[in-house]
Structure 1
Amino acid sequence: MNELHFFLIDDDEIFQFIMKNTIQEINPEIKIQFFTDGEKGIECLKENLDAANKLPDIILLDLNMPFMDGWEFLNEYKSLKSDLKKEINIYLLTSSNSQQDVERAKEISTLSGYLVKPLSRDGLKDLIQEFPTAEWYENEL
Protein backbone atom coordinates (compact mmCIF):
# COMPACT_ATOMS: atom_id res chain seq x y z
CA MET A 1 0.00 0.00 0.00
CA ASN A 2 1.43 3.38 -0.98
CA GLU A 3 1.71 6.12 1.61
CA LEU A 4 -1.43 8.23 1.50
CA HIS A 5 -1.95 11.80 2.65
CA PHE A 6 -5.39 12.78 3.98
CA PHE A 7 -7.02 16.10 4.73
CA LEU A 8 -9.91 15.78 7.16
CA ILE A 9 -11.99 18.94 7.04
CA ASP A 10 -14.56 18.76 9.84
CA ASP A 11 -15.39 21.05 12.75
CA ASP A 12 -16.10 18.18 15.17
CA GLU A 13 -12.88 17.61 17.12
CA ILE A 14 -14.17 14.38 18.68
CA PHE A 15 -14.89 13.01 15.20
CA GLN A 16 -11.40 14.11 14.11
CA PHE A 17 -9.87 12.23 17.06
CA ILE A 18 -11.84 9.07 16.26
CA MET A 19 -10.96 9.25 12.56
CA LYS A 20 -7.28 9.82 13.31
CA ASN A 21 -7.13 6.77 15.56
CA THR A 22 -9.09 4.61 13.14
CA ILE A 23 -7.02 5.62 10.10
CA GLN A 24 -3.76 5.07 12.00
CA GLU A 25 -4.95 1.63 13.16
CA ILE A 26 -5.63 0.71 9.53
CA ASN A 27 -2.33 2.10 8.28
CA PRO A 28 0.05 4.05 10.54
CA GLU A 29 1.92 5.34 7.47
CA ILE A 30 -1.00 7.55 6.40
CA LYS A 31 -0.34 11.23 6.95
CA ILE A 32 -3.39 13.17 8.19
CA GLN A 33 -3.90 16.94 8.39
CA PHE A 34 -6.94 18.34 10.19
CA PHE A 35 -8.88 21.52 9.47
CA THR A 36 -11.92 22.77 11.38
CA ASP A 37 -13.47 24.59 8.41
CA GLY A 38 -13.27 24.65 4.64
CA GLU A 39 -11.53 28.01 4.53
CA LYS A 40 -8.47 26.64 6.34
CA GLY A 41 -8.35 23.66 3.99
CA ILE A 42 -8.53 25.90 0.90
CA GLU A 43 -5.79 28.14 2.33
CA CYS A 44 -3.51 25.12 2.74
CA LEU A 45 -4.19 24.00 -0.84
CA LYS A 46 -3.43 27.51 -2.15
CA GLU A 47 -0.17 27.65 -0.17
CA ASN A 48 0.96 24.33 -1.68
CA LEU A 49 -0.22 24.54 -5.30
CA ASP A 50 3.21 23.55 -6.63
CA ALA A 51 4.18 21.14 -3.86
CA ALA A 52 2.59 17.80 -4.77
CA ASN A 53 4.15 16.12 -1.72
CA LYS A 54 2.25 18.54 0.58
CA LEU A 55 -1.09 18.02 -1.16
CA PRO A 56 -3.48 15.30 -0.04
CA ASP A 57 -4.48 12.23 -2.00
CA ILE A 58 -7.86 12.21 -0.28
CA ILE A 59 -9.97 14.94 1.29
CA LEU A 60 -12.75 13.89 3.64
CA LEU A 61 -15.01 16.93 3.70
CA ASP A 62 -17.87 17.67 6.08
CA LEU A 63 -20.83 19.57 4.64
CA ASN A 64 -21.90 21.61 7.67
CA MET A 65 -19.15 23.77 9.13
CA PRO A 66 -18.71 27.39 10.20
CA PHE A 67 -16.99 30.03 8.03
CA MET A 68 -16.91 27.91 4.86
CA ASP A 69 -19.08 24.81 4.55
CA GLY A 70 -18.45 21.84 2.29
CA TRP A 71 -20.44 23.21 -0.65
CA GLU A 72 -18.52 26.51 -0.51
CA PHE A 73 -15.24 24.60 -0.27
CA LEU A 74 -16.12 22.68 -3.43
CA ASN A 75 -16.88 25.92 -5.29
CA GLU A 76 -13.49 27.36 -4.29
CA TYR A 77 -11.74 24.08 -5.09
CA LYS A 78 -13.15 24.09 -8.62
CA SER A 79 -11.19 27.27 -9.39
CA LEU A 80 -7.97 25.79 -7.92
CA LYS A 81 -8.14 22.32 -9.41
CA SER A 82 -6.34 23.08 -12.67
CA ASP A 83 -3.42 24.70 -10.78
CA LEU A 84 -2.85 21.77 -8.42
CA LYS A 85 0.09 19.50 -9.21
CA LYS A 86 -1.71 16.41 -7.95
CA GLU A 87 -5.02 14.66 -8.51
CA ILE A 88 -7.06 14.84 -5.30
CA ASN A 89 -10.05 12.65 -4.49
CA ILE A 90 -12.71 14.41 -2.42
CA TYR A 91 -15.34 12.53 -0.46
CA LEU A 92 -18.15 14.32 1.29
CA LEU A 93 -18.29 12.85 4.78
CA THR A 94 -21.46 14.03 6.42
CA SER A 95 -24.26 13.12 8.79
CA SER A 96 -26.76 14.20 6.14
CA ASN A 97 -28.42 11.28 4.42
CA SER A 98 -30.72 13.61 2.51
CA GLN A 99 -31.39 12.37 -1.00
CA GLN A 100 -31.34 16.01 -2.11
CA ASP A 101 -27.75 16.37 -0.84
CA VAL A 102 -26.74 13.11 -2.52
CA GLU A 103 -28.22 14.25 -5.85
CA ARG A 104 -26.53 17.66 -5.54
CA ALA A 105 -23.22 15.94 -4.79
CA LYS A 106 -23.50 13.68 -7.85
CA GLU A 107 -23.67 16.80 -10.03
CA ILE A 108 -20.25 17.97 -8.81
CA SER A 109 -17.58 16.51 -11.07
CA THR A 110 -14.77 17.10 -8.57
CA LEU A 111 -16.32 14.70 -6.03
CA SER A 112 -15.24 11.09 -5.76
CA GLY A 113 -18.02 10.05 -3.40
CA TYR A 114 -20.53 10.69 -0.63
CA LEU A 115 -20.06 8.97 2.74
CA VAL A 116 -22.55 9.09 5.60
CA LYS A 117 -21.34 9.36 9.20
CA PRO A 118 -20.62 7.40 11.16
CA LEU A 119 -18.28 5.73 8.70
CA SER A 120 -17.51 2.23 9.87
CA ARG A 121 -13.94 1.05 10.33
CA ASP A 122 -14.51 -1.48 7.54
CA GLY A 123 -15.89 1.24 5.25
CA LEU A 124 -12.85 3.41 5.88
CA LYS A 125 -10.53 0.44 5.40
CA ASP A 126 -12.19 -0.35 2.06
CA LEU A 127 -11.80 3.27 0.95
CA ILE A 128 -8.09 3.24 1.85
CA GLN A 129 -7.36 -0.17 0.32
CA GLU A 130 -9.31 0.49 -2.87
CA PHE A 131 -7.85 3.95 -3.41
CA PRO A 132 -7.94 5.27 -6.05
CA THR A 133 -11.33 4.00 -6.98
CA ALA A 134 -12.72 4.37 -10.50
CA GLU A 135 -16.36 4.57 -9.47
CA TRP A 136 -18.31 7.21 -7.59
CA TYR A 137 -18.69 5.78 -4.10
CA GLU A 138 -21.89 6.20 -2.12
CA ASN A 139 -22.78 4.60 1.17
CA GLU A 140 -26.05 2.74 1.20
CA LEU A 141 -28.62 5.13 2.59
Structure 2
Amino acid sequence: MIDIDGIYVKLIKKVIETRKLCDNLLIFKNGKESIEYFEESLKDLSAAKVPDIIFIDLNMPIMDGWEFIENFTQIEHKFNKLITLYIVSSSIIPADINRAKSLSNIEDYLVKPIRASQLEQIFRRSA
Protein backbone atom coordinates (compact mmCIF):
# COMPACT_ATOMS: atom_id res chain seq x y z
CA MET A 1 0.00 0.00 0.00
CA ILE A 2 1.41 3.37 -1.01
CA ASP A 3 -0.57 6.13 0.67
CA ILE A 4 0.18 9.21 2.77
CA ASP A 5 -3.18 9.28 4.61
CA GLY A 6 -2.38 7.70 7.98
CA ILE A 7 -5.99 7.37 9.12
CA TYR A 8 -7.05 5.70 5.88
CA VAL A 9 -4.04 3.36 6.00
CA LYS A 10 -4.91 2.32 9.58
CA LEU A 11 -8.49 1.62 8.55
CA ILE A 12 -7.52 -0.50 5.54
CA LYS A 13 -4.83 -2.29 7.56
CA LYS A 14 -7.42 -3.17 10.21
CA VAL A 15 -9.85 -4.52 7.60
CA ILE A 16 -7.11 -6.60 5.95
CA GLU A 17 -5.95 -8.01 9.30
CA THR A 18 -9.45 -8.65 10.66
CA ARG A 19 -10.55 -10.47 7.53
CA LYS A 20 -7.19 -12.22 7.16
CA LEU A 21 -6.80 -11.10 3.55
CA CYS A 22 -3.00 -11.18 3.52
CA ASP A 23 -0.15 -12.17 5.79
CA ASN A 24 2.33 -9.44 5.05
CA LEU A 25 1.20 -5.87 4.43
CA LEU A 26 3.85 -3.38 3.31
CA ILE A 27 3.05 0.30 3.77
CA PHE A 28 4.88 3.21 2.14
CA LYS A 29 4.15 6.93 2.54
CA ASN A 30 5.16 7.99 -0.97
CA GLY A 31 6.22 6.65 -4.32
CA LYS A 32 9.92 7.38 -3.81
CA GLU A 33 10.05 5.33 -0.60
CA SER A 34 8.34 2.41 -2.33
CA ILE A 35 10.46 2.57 -5.52
CA GLU A 36 13.60 2.54 -3.39
CA TYR A 37 12.28 -0.58 -1.62
CA PHE A 38 11.55 -2.35 -4.92
CA GLU A 39 14.91 -1.40 -6.42
CA GLU A 40 16.65 -2.74 -3.30
CA SER A 41 14.55 -5.93 -3.52
CA LEU A 42 15.98 -6.60 -6.98
CA LYS A 43 19.40 -7.14 -5.41
CA ASP A 44 18.22 -10.33 -3.68
CA LEU A 45 14.88 -11.58 -4.97
CA SER A 46 15.03 -14.73 -2.87
CA ALA A 47 14.94 -12.69 0.35
CA ALA A 48 12.68 -9.90 -0.93
CA LYS A 49 9.09 -9.49 0.11
CA VAL A 50 7.52 -8.56 -3.19
CA PRO A 51 3.76 -8.08 -3.04
CA ASP A 52 1.21 -9.64 -5.35
CA ILE A 53 -0.97 -6.51 -5.15
CA ILE A 54 -0.05 -2.85 -4.88
CA PHE A 55 -2.58 -0.16 -3.96
CA ILE A 56 -1.36 3.28 -5.09
CA ASP A 57 -2.71 6.65 -4.08
CA LEU A 58 -2.22 9.39 -6.66
CA ASN A 59 -1.75 12.42 -4.43
CA MET A 60 1.41 12.07 -2.37
CA PRO A 61 4.43 14.27 -1.66
CA ILE A 62 7.94 13.63 -2.99
CA MET A 63 6.81 11.17 -5.70
CA ASP A 64 3.12 10.93 -6.56
CA GLY A 65 1.27 7.86 -7.77
CA TRP A 66 1.73 8.64 -11.47
CA GLU A 67 5.49 9.00 -11.02
CA PHE A 68 5.58 5.74 -9.06
CA ILE A 69 3.74 3.91 -11.84
CA GLU A 70 6.11 5.33 -14.45
CA ASN A 71 9.18 4.22 -12.46
CA PHE A 72 7.73 0.86 -11.42
CA THR A 73 6.82 0.01 -15.01
CA GLN A 74 10.52 0.15 -15.88
CA ILE A 75 11.49 -2.51 -13.29
CA GLU A 76 8.31 -4.57 -12.86
CA HIS A 77 9.32 -7.30 -15.36
CA LYS A 78 12.49 -8.03 -13.36
CA PHE A 79 10.48 -9.56 -10.50
CA ASN A 80 9.39 -12.53 -12.64
CA LYS A 81 5.94 -12.60 -11.08
CA LEU A 82 2.58 -11.01 -11.67
CA ILE A 83 2.13 -7.89 -9.57
CA THR A 84 -1.32 -6.37 -9.83
CA LEU A 85 -1.58 -2.57 -9.53
CA TYR A 86 -4.67 -0.73 -8.34
CA ILE A 87 -5.01 3.02 -8.15
CA VAL A 88 -6.91 4.03 -5.03
CA SER A 89 -7.72 7.71 -4.95
CA SER A 90 -10.24 10.21 -3.68
CA SER A 91 -10.04 11.88 -7.10
CA ILE A 92 -13.13 11.49 -9.25
CA ILE A 93 -11.67 13.67 -11.99
CA PRO A 94 -12.48 11.99 -15.31
CA ALA A 95 -8.98 12.75 -16.65
CA ASP A 96 -7.41 10.74 -13.80
CA ILE A 97 -9.78 7.82 -14.29
CA ASN A 98 -9.29 7.80 -18.08
CA ARG A 99 -5.52 8.04 -17.73
CA ALA A 100 -5.52 5.08 -15.32
CA LYS A 101 -7.70 3.01 -17.62
CA SER A 102 -5.36 3.73 -20.52
CA LEU A 103 -2.43 2.10 -18.69
CA SER A 104 -2.16 -1.61 -19.41
CA ASN A 105 -0.56 -2.46 -16.05
CA ILE A 106 -3.34 -0.88 -13.95
CA GLU A 107 -5.99 -3.43 -13.02
CA ASP A 108 -8.57 -0.90 -11.80
CA TYR A 109 -9.20 2.59 -10.50
CA LEU A 110 -10.91 2.54 -7.10
CA VAL A 111 -12.39 5.60 -5.42
CA LYS A 112 -11.74 6.02 -1.69
CA PRO A 113 -12.91 4.76 0.62
CA ILE A 114 -12.63 1.16 -0.52
CA ARG A 115 -15.30 -1.07 0.95
CA ALA A 116 -14.33 -4.26 2.78
CA SER A 117 -16.22 -6.29 0.16
CA GLN A 118 -14.07 -4.74 -2.60
CA LEU A 119 -10.90 -5.69 -0.74
CA GLU A 120 -12.14 -9.23 -0.27
CA GLN A 121 -12.86 -9.58 -4.00
CA ILE A 122 -9.43 -8.21 -4.93
CA PHE A 123 -7.57 -10.56 -2.60
CA ARG A 124 -9.73 -13.52 -3.60
CA ARG A 125 -8.88 -12.91 -7.29
CA SER A 126 -5.17 -12.87 -6.58
CA ALA A 127 -5.18 -16.04 -4.47
Do these two structures clear the TM 0.5 threshold for a shared fold by scoring above it? yes
1:21 aligned residue: 14
Of 64, 88, 92 in structure 1, the residue corresponding to residue 87 of structure 2 is: 92
Q: Is the 8 A contact 2:52 2:126 kept in 1?
A: no
Distance 1:28 1:108 in 2: 26
> 1:85 Cα deviation (Å)?
2.8
Conserved? CA contact 2:55–2:88, under 8 Å? yes
Which of 4, 8, 17 is the matching residue for 1:11?
4
Alpha-carbon deviation of 1:30? 2.4
Q: Which amino acid aligns with 1:131?
A: S
Residues 67 and 120 (structure 1), Cα distance of their counterparts in 2 relative to 1, 3 Å cut? same
Q: Is the 8 A contact 2:2 2:56 kept in 1?
A: yes
Confirm or deny that 1:62 pairs with 2:86. no
Q: Counting strand residues as a fraction of each chain, which structure ranks higher?
A: 1
**Structure 1 residue corresponding to 2:25, chosen from 9, 32, 37:** 32
Q: Write the mapping of 1:103-122 to structure 2, written as runs, cut at 5 A.
A: 103-122=98-117
TM-score (norm 1): 0.82
The aligned residue for residue 51 of structure 1 is 45
Aligned equivalent of 2:124, options 115, 118, 129: 129
1:51–1:85 Cα contact (<8 Å) kept:
no
Q: How far apart are the structure 2 equivalents of 1:30 and 1:71?
A: 27
Q: Distance in 1 between matches of 2:21 and 2:118?
A: 17
Q: Percent identity?
A: 36
User: Which residue type is aligned with residue 70 of structure 2?
Assistant: N
Shift of 1:29: 4.5
1:118 aligned partner, one-letter code: P
Aligned length: 125
* CA displacement at 1:61 relative to structure 2: 0.3
- Cα distance change, pair 95–82 in 1 and its aligned pair in 2 (3 A): same
TM-score, normalised on structure 2? 0.91
Secondary structure at 2:61 match in 1? coil
Higher helix share: 2
Which aligned segments of 4 or more residues in structure 1 are displaced greater than 6 angstroms?
A: none
Unaligned runs of 5+ in 2: none
Question: What secondary structure sits across from 2:58 in the alignment?
Answer: coil
- Distance, in Å, in 2 between the alignment partners of 1:106 and 1:28 is 25
